[in-house]
Structure 1
Amino acid sequence: MSDFSLKNGVLHAESVSLLELATTYGTPLYVYSRAAIERQWRAFAEYLPEPHRVCFAVKANSNLAVLQVLARLGAGFDVVSGGEIARVLKAGGQAQRIVFSGVAKSDTEVREALQLGIGQFNVESRSELEQINRIALELGVVAAISLRVNPDVDAQTHPYIATGLEQNKFGIAMAEAVASYEQAAQLPGLNIVGVACHIGSQLTQIQPFLDAMDRMLDLIEQLAGKGIQVQHLDMGGGLGVRYGKEAPPPVSDYIQALLHKLSTRKRQSLALYLEPGRAIVANAGVLLTRVELLKSNKIKHFVMVDAGMNDLLRPSLYQAWHDIVNVQPRQGCSIQGDIVGPVCETGDFLGQNRSLVVQPGDLLAVMSAGAYGFTMSSNYNSRPRPAEVMVDRSDTYLIRARETREDLWRGESLIP
């Protein structure tokens, strides 16, 4: 995380002290580096010029300012709800560069998406084909679609973020793919434009992507034999990032391997779509949290902080590991223990069995928190969600105000 580095003994985001940000905006606090977001975006876009396309997975980080930065760079967007479509458009994204994925799109969401003129739907079931066709005919439009097909490739990742196996809820089984495309070809409200898959998240090897790509290219050849031609192959997202000891491949190696596969299979005319999320924003953000108390018993030490699982769910949900550092490193004896929050759950932890030199009042940074941090946050235990700040060299922007207690019950009412 080169955009987060020590300067004069204090951790900085670009040119701004994280101590100063915590003093100004309070904690818990999400801090993002604009330079890091833009650099990671360009790492993809450099190797995928038009007609290829990079669509940012909005679920990773949906803050309007983050989306705005990407929209200005010409990003496409992968969305999974009507709310995410609205966010993209509010941030300046283009409707025709939106890919609408997701397994349970409502009639209202489909209708709104068609009226807005989004680029395409990634369809996840045969019943969804009928749904989109019905609504398209009602509106007098034709919907561009790809089918998301499960290549049944084991991505060897956490079971909660594996998505390409037949037992997962996503997509259409490979055995049903040709018949599903034949069904789509008979529906007058649909226009087949591509084939899509997504095998999982936080993958650190290229080979699973290539294995999935071989199966998808085999499918494309079968479809061509049936007279069904497609314009692009959407390989989804899933490229991993370094949280600790992981060693994911460089983005350039990953993309060049995929393009080489297209070449060896004589499919250079296919546009390649990718949908990175984590790979763009994970290492562009940190979560700042203040140490409240130290506690120990006969078997355990605890560093109790003001951020909890409602602010950053990944460690509790996925047993995910984030590096946690003192923003102003101390000298002295370290404490070996768990970094835990104030939420009333045993599973409320940000890190376990960590070694830190720390005192009450110290500011800690949970690193690599830019993806699936705020977007998965909640008001559990009636806790207001954190503020978010964007750093741009020496400038800072409050891009989401901290929620107030009144925000906690906004929309609720007492009965008479």
Structure 2
Amino acid sequence: MQPKELLALAQEFGCPLYVYDAAKIKSQYDRLKNGFSKVARVRINYAVKALSNVAVLQYMKVIGANLDTVSIQEVRLGLYAGFAPEQIIFTPNGVSFEEIEEAAALGVQINIDNLSVLEHFGTKHPRVPVCIRINPHVMAGGHTNISVGHIDSKFGISIHQMPHLLRIVENTGMHINGIHMHTGSDILDIEVFLYASEILFDAAKHFKTLDFLDFGSGFKVPYKKGDIETDIEEFGQKLSKRFNAFEKEYGRDLTLAFEPGKYIVSEAGFFLAKVNVVKQTTSTVFASIDSGFNHLIRPMFYGSQHAIENISNPKGKERFYSVVGYICETDTFANNRRIAEITEGDILCFRNAGAYCFTMASNYNSRYKPAEVLFKDGKGILIRERETFEDLLRNQILLD
């Protein structure tokens, strides 16, 4: 999207504002699907946790995606958006057994990552098909919060517990129809991912009635010009060749599945905020915006680097600014960043704001959550209204 288009949306819908470019969402989906065009059956399960607005989920269905969910609420959002139960996989961690049973009753694909839960579920519901999440003990991904395949991770059943796992399956007679792994986000080294994939292939040989192998996701997207990203075409070529060979060896048709979230929506998202104050101190020039980590916490939580542009003055002379929020704590989006000269009232645009941005927003300091807009076919469509004071009071009860 161009600065003029984003500025027009800021003027139409106000700030702060999340904008999602439908064309970019589709191009990312198509790129991933095309990367595995040599595999007969490919299923892309969009990770709802990245961006869960129901209008976005509706659009995912239109372009051909299925859904990966981690909570019963995300399952219900997917059903509400029009997905059939068989188009949804449920991959929770540490939830109650009742939540897993509720998801199973809705007819979605269950994915279990705990031996005790597996045994309990298999004993009670031996006829319900189950996918098993394996921890391959392979460290892939960037920040420690998003690398989930290592030995100390809370996710998945250790590959070293395979004998125990097989005993449970045999004793319960349960039907295992899928094997899954997820090593983490921001994967840079394709060879590390392929190494983890070999572990999944070896695990799959223990089960004779599999329908799919789910390789998770974690593909890195660029956050700035020249940034490293996962080479989907090279990765697709290498994994496709290996998958097709394994399918032939396995002797049964298999579906190759992925569960991308950030890869599909990150670059499609823009966060627009208005500059309230430009403040010069003895050493720094602060640009304070009408937002904070209540709306975009990733820079403070992960140290993520979102490119920031002054779309009100895109060709202005660049100066150095620290971009900060209005929260009554230190909420710094960027330190000493080169940005076109900023004046009060200008609109700043944060790029890569599609994934884990609005979904992690809060009402901290009793601030309202922003509006969301889907930019589709050259037009902005409001898909979430800006909150009001009445929204803050909803569900709160005064004392008598």
Which one of 347, 353, 359 corresponds to residue 343 of structure 2?
Answer: 359
Counterparts of 1:200-219 in structure 2 under 5 Å? 200-219=184-203
Greater CA deviation, 321-330 or 374-383?
321-330
Where structure 1 has 5 or more consecutive residues not aligned to the other structure, the ranges are: 6-10
Give the residue type in structure 2 aligned to 1:353.
N
Give the residue type in structure 1 aligned to 2:243.
L
Report if the CA contact (8 A) 2:136-2:199 is conserved.
yes
C-alpha offsets along residues 203-249 of structure 1, whole Å, 9 cap, x if unaligned?
Answer: 1331221010011112223x15xxx4433211101111011242213
Per the alignment, residue 333 of structure 2 pairs with 350
Counterparts of 1:169-248 in structure 2 under 5 Å? 169-188=154-173, 190-221=174-205, 223=206, 228-244=208-224, 245-248=226-229
Residue 34 of structure 1 pairs with residue 22 of structure 2:
yes
Greater CA deviation, 158-167 or 69-78?
69-78
Give the residue type in structure 2 aligned to 1:242.
P
How many pairs were matched up? 393
Per the alignment, residue 48 of structure 2 pairs with 58
Report if the CA contact (8 A) 1:301-1:335 is conserved.
no
Report if the CA contact (8 A) 1:386-1:403 is conserved.
yes
Residue 261 of structure 1 pairs with residue 242 of structure 2:
yes
Report if the CA contact (8 A) 1:151-1:173 is conserved.
yes
How far apart are the structure 2 equivalents of 1:74 and 1:153?
31
Which one of 68, 80, 102 corresponds to residue 78 of structure 1?
Answer: 68
Give the residue type in structure 2 aligned to 1:22.
A
Give the residue type in structure 2 aligned to 1:117.
G
Report if the CA contact (8 A) 1:204-1:246 is conserved.
no
Give the residue type in structure 2 aligned to 1:232.
F
RMSD of aligned Cα (Å): 1.9
The 4+ residue runs of structure 1 with deviation greater than 6 A are none
How far apart are the structure 2 equivalents of 1:383 and 1:68?
28
Q: Pick closer, same or farther for the CA change 1:353–1:88 going to 2, 3 Å.
A: same
Report if the CA contact (8 A) 2:141-2:183 is conserved.
no
Secondary structure at the aligned position of 1:161 is classed as coil
Greater CA deviation, 354-363 or 261-270?
261-270
How far is the alpha carbon of 1:136 from its aligned partner? 2.8
Report if the CA contact (8 A) 2:372-2:385 is conserved.
yes
How far is the alpha carbon of 1:182 from its aligned partner? 2.9
Per the alignment, residue 78 of structure 2 pairs with 88
Identical counterparts, % of pairs: 36
Per the alignment, residue 8 of structure 1 pairs with none
Greater CA deviation, 316-325 or 40-49?
40-49
Per the alignment, residue 286 of structure 1 pairs with 270
Where structure 2 has 5 or more consecutive residues not aligned to the other structure, the ranges are: none
Secondary structure at the aligned position of 1:260 is classed as helix
How far apart are the structure 2 equivalents of 1:415 and 1:50?
62
How far apart are the structure 1 equivalents of 2:377 and 2:370?
22
Secondary structure at the aligned position of 1:294 is classed as strand
Per the alignment, residue 121 of structure 2 pairs with 132
C-alpha offsets along residues 123-148 of structure 1, whole Å, 9 cap, x if unaligned?
Answer: 110111134235536xxxx2211211
Report if the CA contact (8 A) 1:147-1:181 is conserved.
no
Give the residue type in structure 2 aligned to 1:27.
C
How far is the alpha carbon of 1:327 from its aligned partner? 1.0
> Given the two structures, how large is their TM-score scaled by the length of structure 1?
0.90
Secondary structure at the aligned position of 1:396 is classed as strand
Per the alignment, residue 415 of structure 1 pairs with 399
How far apart are the structure 2 equivalents of 1:313 and 1:355?
21
Report if the CA contact (8 A) 2:219-2:229 is conserved.
yes
Greater CA deviation, 362-371 or 293-302?
293-302
> Given the two structures, how large is their TM-score scaled by the length of structure 2?
0.93
